[in-house]
Structure 1
Amino acid sequence: METLSNILAQQPMMALFLTVALGYLLGEVNIKGFSLGVGAVLFVALFMGWLAPKSAPAPMVGTLGLALFLYAVGVQYGKQFFVGLTSTSGRRANLIALSGVLLSGIVSVLFMKLSSLPLGHALGLFAGAGTSTPTLQAAIVQLGNDDPAVGYSVAYPLGVAGPILFLYICFMVLKPKIQAPTGGGIEMLEIAPEDSALKGKTIGDLLAGLPAGIDIAALRRAHHNLPASRSMALAANDVLLVTGPSREALEQAAKQLGEVHHGRVTGDRRDLDYVRIFASRAAVVGRSLGDLKLPEGRPHALVQVRRGDADIMPRPDLVLEFGDRIGMLAHRDDFAALRKFFGDSIKGTAEFSYISIGFGMALGFLLGAINFPLPGVGKLALGLSGVLIVALVLGKLRRTGGLNWTIPLSANLVLRNLGLTLFLAQVGMASGPKFAATVSQTGFLMLGLGAIVVVALVLPILLLGLGVFKMPYDEVAGIVAGACGNPAILAYANKLAPTDKPDIGYAMIFPGMTIIKILFVDIVPAVLGG
């Protein structure tokens, strides 16, 4: 064992990537539906840190990993975060999360009063239960000693495993029906208007009375297919190519319009043919469809935009992202010009601007380093939360002049998962020795106190979200992940509920709750005279 420890200490990079490999291997172990996923990296890292304390990577590795993760999440979900702050459901979600965060803080302080627990240990338990490194850093700075690191090292693994276990139990008990994205395409139907009263009405007039999500992409007139526009008026014998999100919606539209036809529009491709093009050109990404000046030539129409596994109707206000696949009806002779206009490079959809990510990360670290005065307490620094806040703002802006802040979805996922993995591995390897020493010295007392703090954080959110407000499971899972803060919890929530709601909930909740946690550890010592 000593030989192995020496080898790992001499090869810290080997130890790091061995930890990553073993962590993901352990995370794939499934016991009756329960598996740790990427969270297992932390527990393998704790063991590796105990086995070979000198093999731990430099703290900058973990800082870089967490910063990459926060930046990728913020850029991807900036728009949803700010919508959440202004919406009723978003404010409700933040208040639910706040109840758990404040209760866990109060419980930590009560432990200090009732069991003679040092203030530093109590604040460390609070920071560890919420898996908040910025909170730990703020507590150490505020108290001027490393006591919070002891409580943090004990509670941190519980802060990861506890919420995951709660989410698993709720999932197994409630058995929620979660509709995962199917990736099904937009449906099309050819309809010939029968009612003579419809003749002379414009396409815009027709769409106003049709179900939500229905659009008219093209029409056939005098044996020719034409792209439809809202100002175009119907004529006798027109056949409409109607698109919609589902067959049911199209059938409802057919009942309102007229007789269903097959093959009259789609069977003739002389005037219009279908082409799918990748959006990879920097000049079009980050701009709304309504602002694009498409190449001049024969008339053409945008039918759909496919983003990831979902199809999106091409609304004028829809902002293009790298990797979007644009479905168009156009003349074949115009295909080359359209491909050149949008880029149509699969390679380009996996690339991103190092200029934008460099400036964005730099601004985030700068914001995190600024000390903001807080009356009655002193000064407050946001730390790594500054990276997330800047990323959320840039994610909402999407584009500033010629600088595009978005990151292709595929590249975003790679950055996010790489950052998450490095962060968990570094923190676990660095905390391993202290975790083992603390547990051996205090027995299971500190572990028990840490578990109670975690319960105080998670249980109110689940009771309020699922029990009182009857919210969907995937929304509540996102609130839990955002309030608890650890990316591994979000990854597990995504595994149980493969929708975008956990990610949106995390992005909407995490920044505010991180700031609340930092404020708590700054204010409590000032109030208690610690």
Structure 2
Amino acid sequence: MTWLHHTFQEYPELAIFLTLAAGFWIGGLKVGKFSLGSVTGVLLMGVLVGQMDIQISANVKSVFFLLFLFAVGYSVGPQFFQGLKKDGLPQVLFAALMCVVCLVAPWLLAVAAGYNVGQAAGLLSGSQTISATMGVASDTINQLSVSSAQKQSWINAMPVCYAVTYIFGTAGSAWLLSSVAPMMLGGLDKVRAETKELEKTLGAGDPTQDPGMRSAFIPVTFRAYLVSEQSIAANKSVKDLEASFIQKGHRLFVERVRKADKSIIDPSQDYVIQPGDEIVINGRREYVLSEEDGFGKEIVDDELLNFPVENVNVYVINKEVIGKTVRELRNMDYMHGVPVQNLRRAGISLPVYSETKLERGDQIELVGYKNDMDRAAKKIGYAEIPTDRTDMIFVGLGIVLGGIVGAMSIHAGGVPLSLSTSGGTLIAGLIFGWLRSRHPAFGNIPEPALWVMNNVGLNTFIAVVGITAGPSFVEGFKQVGWGLFLVGIAATTLPLLAGIIMGRYIFKFHPALTLGCTAGARTTTAALAAIQETVQSKLPALGYTITYAVGNTLLIIWGVVLVLLMT
């Protein structure tokens, strides 16, 4: 053990990877539906490993933290700036006001409890489950005109308070928004009923179908049927049959036909379907299921159904498409034979409702023949080219420019004020992410690489924080005591209740959107999943994206503001 101890002291990089491995394992363990999560798991393991008194350069955590912040900004940038437009302003204002409560509540509670700067920053970070706040607060503390020992004491106090308050910050937020909040909005039954009514107006399809069932199937399907004399397809042209579906609000396509002579064709719009023909129908699964009784007997035929199709992600870029609803897009001539399979905004999957409006930077997943896909992609915007290469020129330049701007400071009353390199990098990420949404031919960061920047970047920073604070963690916990847990409950609860009240009485949002906006402004994805399960709908996600972008930006920057308020 002595040899192992000396090895980790001599090679601290090994201690970091040990902390990451053990932290991710601990964070993934579940008790019921609750788990600590990777960040808290890594922090606790870092504290444990840190008992070996391992010295790690502060530059290590800075490098990984900047990668994380740029990735955060890059991910939410399109929706952050999109929200500044007229349609998104109510949600932006809601998120900004709620974020102010997220700052003021922990600040006042910290002052009342007599906490120091570091303890207050840890309370803010843990109760609002925004780990990055610790990094920004640390940068700001390092700029203060106090002794190095005082700075280190405050910085070491942060992870202690974060760890104590994070548990309720995560689990409590999900419970409050999924169980308590619906009662504040008139009761769960009322919220579910109003959500179903709104789904009808958005064109959600069969309102009696459990929305959770859709995720168990591939949204777009190809099915084959034998046309009988009684079939709705018999003696109709392909054009007339497809038009009859549009009148019902569906979009289904006849892709292939096996004629009586056993030849297989890709039918023209004028082809008249005859009894005895075998046809392949293409469309969203819920639409096919709603019509299949009229087609005839379903058949399984490898030859008829064996043909190549593509799945392509297309960025919404062209002005002619921005602002259109999914229904309007589906009815465009160039969308013939091309169903919309999925819709993502700021990395969040949205329900593909007919009346959902498309925004610049949205990613639409299309399915169909290559020629049809190429035609549709050109009209919509830019088809994503699958690649595993990250544009490191884009990433490196963004971090450098943001860091330089953030490092600039002004003096107010002798106190240096600046965004810090971390705050500047976050804003650079927002701008560069927005630029990517407008010009997606450059600046690509594949999702796996973005995951590494987000998760490995943040957790490596947290690992170093935990290891560095390890020796003083126990003493720090004795100072704050279990009373901090109760303070953390209050700091978590007050902003969430304020968000529900503002959404219902001030902004008068729909109940489902109020829940989604509140979860988004607090950047609590776990709560969004719990809300959707409780109200039995994906509709709350429509209120999550813009508020998440605003919340993720302001809550991180609050690390600077809180330090200034406490000094």
Stretches of structure 1 lacking an aligned partner (at least 5 in a row): 229-233, 292-298, 483-489
Please state how far the C-alpha of 1:13 moved relative to its aligned partner.
Answer: 1.6
Which residue of the partner structure matches residue 161 of structure 1? Answer: 167
Q: Deviations over 1:252-288 (max 9, x none)?
A: 6899xxx636789x99979x95422566xxxx87866
1:517/1:433 Cα in 2 relative to 1: closer, same or farther (>3 Å)?
same
CA distance in 1, matches of 2:73, 2:9: 36
CA distance in 2, matches of 1:104, 1:84: 27
Please state how far the C-alpha of 1:52 moved relative to its aligned partner.
Answer: 1.6
1:449/1:504 Cα in 2 relative to 1: closer, same or farther (>3 Å)?
farther
Please state how far the C-alpha of 1:41 moved relative to its aligned partner.
Answer: 1.0
Please state how far the C-alpha of 1:466 moved relative to its aligned partner.
Answer: 5.8
Output aligned runs, 1:115-514, within 5 Å.
Answer: 126=124, 131=131, 132=133, 133-145=135-147, 146=151, 148-167=154-173, 170=176, 179=212, 181-182=215-216, 184-187=218-221, 209-211=247-249, 214-217=250-253, 225=266, 244-247=283-286, 249-250=287-288, 260=295, 273-276=307-310, 301-304=337-340, 326-329=366-369, 348-371=386-409, 379-398=417-436, 404-439=442-477, 443=478, 445-448=479-482, 450-465=484-499, 469=504, 476-481=518-523, 501=541, 506-514=548-556
Residue 97 (structure 2) pairs with residue 95 (structure 1): yes
1:403/1:355 Cα in 2 relative to 1: closer, same or farther (>3 Å)?
farther
Please state how far the C-alpha of 1:48 moved relative to its aligned partner.
Answer: 1.2
Q: Deviations over 1:30-82 (max 9, x none)?
A: 33433213121110101111x2222x432222223233233333323333333
Which residue of the partner structure matches residue 487 of structure 1? Answer: none
Residue 70 of structure 2 aligns to which amino acid in structure 1? Answer: Y
1:275/1:288 Cα in 2 relative to 1: closer, same or farther (>3 Å)?
farther
Q: Deviations over 1:369-394 (max 9, x none)?
A: 23367799763325323323222333
Residue 163 of structure 2 aligns to which amino acid in structure 1? Answer: P
Residue 260 of structure 1 aligns to which amino acid in structure 2? Answer: F
Q: Deviations over 1:123-172 (max 9, x none)?
A: 67556766412123224424534153254243222243341242465489
Answer yes or no: is the 8 Å Cα contact 2:123–2:165 preserved in 1.
no
CA distance in 2, matches of 1:192, 1:375: 80
Residue 43 of structure 2 aligns to which amino acid in structure 1? Answer: L
TM-score for the superposition, normalised by structure 2: 0.65
Answer yes or no: is the 8 Å Cα contact 1:20–1:421 preserved in 2.
yes
CA distance in 2, matches of 1:318, 1:241: 34
1:226/1:512 Cα in 2 relative to 1: closer, same or farther (>3 Å)?
farther
Secondary structure at the counterpart of residue 30 of structure 2: coil
Which residue of the partner structure matches residue 294 of structure 1? Answer: none
Answer yes or no: is the 8 Å Cα contact 2:43–2:463 preserved in 1.
yes
Answer yes or no: is the 8 Å Cα contact 2:74–2:433 preserved in 1.
yes
Secondary structure at the counterpart of residue 35 of structure 2: coil
CA distance in 2, matches of 1:326, 1:269: 22
Q: Deviations over 1:193-241 (max 9, x none)?
A: 7999x999998x8787543xx435457899764577xxxxx89769998
Which residue of the partner structure matches residue 485 of structure 1? Answer: none
Which residue of the partner structure matches residue 62 of structure 1? Answer: 61
Answer yes or no: is the 8 Å Cα contact 1:22–1:44 preserved in 2.
yes
Please state how far the C-alpha of 1:353 moved relative to its aligned partner.
Answer: 1.9
CA distance in 2, matches of 1:458, 1:327: 43
CA distance in 1, matches of 2:67, 2:350: 25
Corresponding pairs, count:
473
1:378/1:480 Cα in 2 relative to 1: closer, same or farther (>3 Å)?
same
Answer yes or no: is the 8 Å Cα contact 2:137–2:563 preserved in 1.
yes
CA distance in 1, matches of 2:238, 2:368: 27
TM-score for the superposition, normalised by structure 1: 0.68
Answer yes or no: is the 8 Å Cα contact 2:46–2:470 preserved in 1.
yes
1:407/1:47 Cα in 2 relative to 1: closer, same or farther (>3 Å)?
same
Residue 43 of structure 1 aligns to which amino acid in structure 2? Answer: L
Secondary structure at the counterpart of residue 327 of structure 1: strand
Stretches of structure 2 lacking an aligned partner (at least 5 in a row): 183-187, 189-209, 226-230, 260-264, 322-334, 505-510
CA distance in 2, matches of 1:119, 1:69: 24
CA distance in 1, matches of 2:83, 2:107: 25
Answer yes or no: is the 8 Å Cα contact 1:129–1:152 preserved in 2.
no
**Identity among equivalent pairs (%):** 19
Residue 561 (structure 2) pairs with residue 519 (structure 1): yes
Answer yes or no: is the 8 Å Cα contact 1:42–1:425 preserved in 2.
yes
Which residue of the partner structure matches residue 48 of structure 1? Answer: 49
CA RMSD of superposed structures (Å)? 5.3
